[in-house]
Structure 1
Amino acid sequence: MAEHSYDYDVLVIGAGPGGYVAAIRAAQLGLKTACVESRETLGGTCLNVGCIPSKALLHGSELFDEASNGHFATWGIDAKPTLDLGRMMDEKTKAVGELTGGIEFLFKKNKVTWIKGHAAFEDAHSVKVGDETVTAKDIVIATGSSVTPLPGVDVDNAGGRIVDSTGALDLTEVPDHLVVIGGGVIGLELGSVWRRLGAKVTVVEFLDQLLPGMDGEVRKESQKLFKKQGMEMMLSHKVTGAKVKGKKVALTVEKSAGGDEQTLEVSHVLVSIGRRPNTDGLALDKAGLQVNNRGQVEIDHDFRTGVDGIWAIGDVAPGPMLAHKAEDEGIAVAENIAGLTGIVNHDVIPSVVYTLPEIAGVGLTQEEAIEKAGGDKKAIKVGKFPMMANSRAKANRDTDGFVKVIADAETDRVIGVWMINSLAGTMIAQAAQAMEFGATSEDIAYTCHAHPTHAEAFKEAAMAVTGKPIHM
């Protein structure tokens, strides 16, 4: 097919954070661009049933919890709030509508064509959407991910008893007893929402700790804090089956190693054991592509697949399933297609758990850093500073958590930062930027931080790398 005969220069499949950003950036660079999306609204999982609605409910539930469970009273504010769950859900829906509508506006502004429907490859430069065949010189696969099912536990969001993360964002009542299957980010965030609104929450996790992949000290501290807040933990356990009986769910649970089976009777169940790439229905084989053993589309450093002219980004490609990772890849892939140099430093991708306090990290965990050094603990230096010693946190009566800085012992270059505190999700940006510029712990320690702020704990943790914190 001659180049001039393509319908578009760039066709992006999927309008989530990776896809819509790739489409907008490609259009900004002068490429004729279209984006295929089957949802009624743009923004993918993140804006519609993920990052945005969950944060809206986290915020609303935090306000309710502060008013009803003591923090207001600490400051001499007597309040007896009542919950109107319908209004809270309406406000969440309004926020989602504003943001998804904003993406549609940006498409129009940048002259990106939205092709509504499901895309399936016909060949390396053609996809079929409904009855229409669309061609493009370059095609970007940005189809995202979906909830991983759990054998023996059938999700029924419409029924509202056994739900996934989408259903948990839309419950019409506060659960009496919610069991969260999976102690990862999504389960803990949504479990926090409903606990704050009055539910009893039990987390069942196959492993012996929460938050797999995060720094060991962070995992231990977060578990302690969640227990303190009233969450019950069943670690080293697995759910083997679930049956809905009217307004109850009978869950069978046993130890991860097997045996000691027990039955829990609860009001609601949230299945949150992870996500898997969306490739079903894409007809990748017609384009000459296959997925790896994790269901992902393999790519090179520039986001090219094994087929010329086809690229992949975001959750469908290897790497952490994070919206901001997908966004950065969306910009980079568009720039690479346009002949520029698009790069994403995958060693500096921050991760955040938006509970209260928030949990955040970037770079290597302490365990990973030691392993990378061949098991030599002396190859790294670690500085840690408790929020209890931070003046702003103490003044706010908000002292849970700490900040931890991991540096290379020889070069002092920071290779990892982990933290738990109420502003960790925002504070981690400074750590990521410092690491992107190759900062040493000394660079951070000698950077003036405004007083009094939570961010001073990061400065003090950096000072602690060389054993010189002032306020500890």
Structure 2
Amino acid sequence: MDKYEVVIIGSGPGGYIAAIRAAQLGYKVAIVEREDNLGGVCLNWGCIPTKALLKSAQLYKKILSASSFGIKITGDVEVDIQSIVAHSRDAVAKLSCGVSMLMKKNGVKVYKGCARIAGKGEVHVDNDGVKSALSAKHIILATGGRPRIATNLDTKLLWSSKDAMLPETLPKSLLIIGSGAIGIEFASFYSTIGSKVTIVEMQDRILPLEDRDISLSMHEILKNQGVDIFTACSVMDLVQSASSITAQIVNSGTEDTVTSSFERVICAIGILPNSGNLGLEDTKVQLDKGGFIITDGMCQTSEPGIYAIGDVAGPPCLAHKASHEAVICVEGIAKKDGRISTAPSTLHKNNIPSCIYSIPQIASVGLTEDAAKTQGLEIKVGISRASCNGKAIASGESEGFVKVILCSKTGELLGAHMLGSEVTEMINGYIVGRQLEATDLDIAHTIFPHPTLSEMMHSAILSAWKEPLDS
């Protein structure tokens, strides 16, 4: 039996951050990972590789518009899909190696294999028949999630998100089922580099969790890029042939049916938790109806000594939420053990940002306008458009806007929603403002540098006051 103080199952952005923080606080730590590389889905098959792919698509789009910037390209501009994929995998390899180095630097022991809780404070690891037994006072579950698949069709023509990051050739036609962050990012990537993309969404609009103005604007942008979009529709049947999949797309209201064939299909309809095969049935750990592990504000499950963080502990299924929970969890453990005297930070779910790296990007935090109205709040809404921003116009990126929802009585920033170039970098300003409980007056009295895209954050506040200076 190998003895540790903290054992972490899963090495994604929750797991490896928990391992580092626990080691920093003096714990003897082990981490278990069943895949070949550390870093979890985020690093290997999610956040990082998709950003690399999208950067290639963004660059391709920019090159095609080079003439508008006075740059003449005399030869053909071609997409080399295999080189694009190689670039993304190279980025992944570098970062995964970096996580391994961090484990070594912090003295964290890494075990390869599938882990299972085998009793109080005990974890068994099976690495293709090579077995290890670990003991620890604290066990942290950071096992993540996996894509939800809506069909039993077994074919290479039906892509998982992982398959969609490893195309050998560029599909001429692509059906994407679902229009959340994953679906929209793939739609942006493939439509930009030359595939004919079709999106099917069950709800009445794409990006149904985003602010309605964001959804409607992105709908128009994708439509103008040649993407076909079916909302309030379902894919009722998929039939495979030798080289394509035929889909029946049915409108849920009118029952009108469209039948089309596609070279590839991506299913992007959500995430299921990896809470099975962990031995939880022999513990007091409770799961919700979706299979997510139920925890308290300090990531503690209903079984003393077992904690859960990240996707397996429930939505929002975001890497930065997992990393933040990792620190909260470990510092909570250390506080109980008397290793630190200060109370750990808490997770304010309303301050967790959502970022979608489509072309253009989307970022948001807090309440949507519809949600604020549903709650009966008295609000003021302000919008600053990129078409009125000097930096955006000079850069040829005048698509999009910044929208704020303010409390009419207190000036509290209830929500912020952005669409446009690099808005995933801009949203942080509003997140800090919400964390510090800044008011609209505080933001309005802040000097924003000129010319920058961030000036729209200031202008949106003034717009909510009906005192815009840019339009």
Return the TM-score normalized by structure 1: 0.94
Aligned to 1:441: 440
Gaps of 5+ in 1: none
Q: Which amino acid aligns with 1:462?
A: I
Is 1:269 paired with 2:272? no
CA distance in 1, matches of 2:214, 2:91: 31
1:344 CA displacement: 2.0
* Equivalence for 1:75: 69
Please give the residue correspondences for 1:229-308 in structure 2 after superposition, counting only pairs within 5 Å.
229-257=225-253, 259-308=255-304
Alpha-carbon offset, residue 258 of structure 1: 7.1
Q: Which runs of 5+ in 2 are unaligned?
A: none
1:290-439 to 2 correspondences below 5 Å: 290-339=286-335, 340=340, 341-342=343-344, 343-373=346-376, 376=377, 379-439=378-438
Are the aligned partners of 1:124 and 1:307 in contact in 2 as well (CA < 8 Å)? no
Contact 1:124/1:310 (<8 A) preserved: no
Instruction: Report deviation, 1:257.
Output: 4.1
Q: Give the letter for the 2:70 counterpart.
A: G
| Displacement after TM superposition at 1:188 (Å) | 0.9
What are the residue-to-residue correspondences of 1:103-118 with 2, within 5 Å? 103-118=99-114
The amino acid that maps onto 2:68 is T
2-structure distance, mates of 1:168, 1:6: 40
Of residues 334-343 and 416-425 in structure 1, the stretch that sits farther from structure 2 once superposed is 334-343
Measured after TM superposition, the shift of residue 6 of structure 1 is 7.8
Find the counterpart in structure 2 of residue 91 from structure 1.
87
Which one-letter code corresponds to 2:149 in the other structure?
Answer: P
- Measure, in 2, the Cα distance between the counterparts of 1:6 and 1:372: 52
Q: Write the deviation string for residues 314-346 of structure 1: whole angstroms up to 9, x where unpaired.
A: 101123000111111111111111114222222
Does the aligned pair in 1 maintain the 2:52–2:88 contact within 8 Å?
yes
What SS is found at the alignment partner of 2:176? strand
What is the alpha-carbon distance in structure 1 between the residues aligned to residue 289 and residue 120 of structure 2?
A: 22
Describe the SS at the equivalent of 2:188: helix
Tell me which residue corresponds to 1:16.
12
Cα pair distance change 1:197/1:363, threshold 3 Å: same
Distance 1:315 1:258, change over 3 A: farther
TM-score with structure 2 setting the length? 0.95
Q: Secondary structure of 2:88's match?
A: helix
Q: Which amino acid aligns with 1:55?
A: K
C-alpha spacing 1:387/1:108, structure 2 compared with 1 (3 Å): same
**Partner residue of 2:213?**
217
For 1:167-211, what per-residue CA distance to the aligned partner results, in whole angstroms no more than 9, with x for missing partners?
100011111100111111101101211111110000011111011
DSSP 3-state at the match of 2:136: strand
Match of 1:122 in 2: 118
Distance in 1 (alpha carbons) for counterparts of 2:330 and 2:2: 17
Correspondence for 1:468: 467
Partner residue, 2:3: 7
CA distance 1:128–1:6, change in 2 (3 Å): closer
| 1:224 shift after superposition | 1.2
- Is 1:134 the equivalent of 2:128? no
Deviation at 1:278, TM superposition (A): 0.7
Alpha-carbon displacement from aligned partner over 1:227-267 (angstroms, at most 9, x marks no partner): 11221101111112223211111112212247333321111
- What is residue 184 of structure 1 aligned with on the other side? 180
Q: Give the corresponding residue for 2:201.
A: 205
- How many residues are treated as equivalent by the alignment? 458
State the AA in 1 paired with 2:39: G
List structure 1 runs of 4+ shifted beyond 3 angstroms: none
Measured against aligned partners, the alpha-carbon deviations of 1:412-431 in whole angstroms (never above 9, x if no partner) come to 01111101111110000111
Measured after TM superposition, the shift of residue 112 of structure 1 is 0.7
- 2: distance between equivalents of 1:129 and 1:250? 43
Preserved contact between residue 286 and residue 301 of structure 2 (Cα < 8 Å): no
Q: 1:466 to 1:83 in 2, by over 3 A?
A: same
Give how far 1:92 is off. 0.9
> 1:94-146: per-residue Cα shift (whole Å, max 9, x none)?
10000000000000000011111111111231121112221110111111010
- For the Cα contact (< 8 Å) 2:286–2:302, is it kept in 1? no
Equivalent in the alignment of 2:98? 102
Q: Percent identity?
A: 35
What is the deviation of 1:398?
1.1
Pair 443,329 (structure 1): closer, same or farther in 2 beyond 3 Å: same
Q: In the TM superposition, what whole-angstrom CA distance separates every residue of 1:63-115 from its partner, at most 9, and x where no partner exists? A: 112223xx212112223312222211111111000000000000000001111
Q: Is contact 2:285–2:294 with CA below 8 Å preserved after alignment?
A: no
* Mean Cα deviation higher: 237-246 or 52-61: 237-246
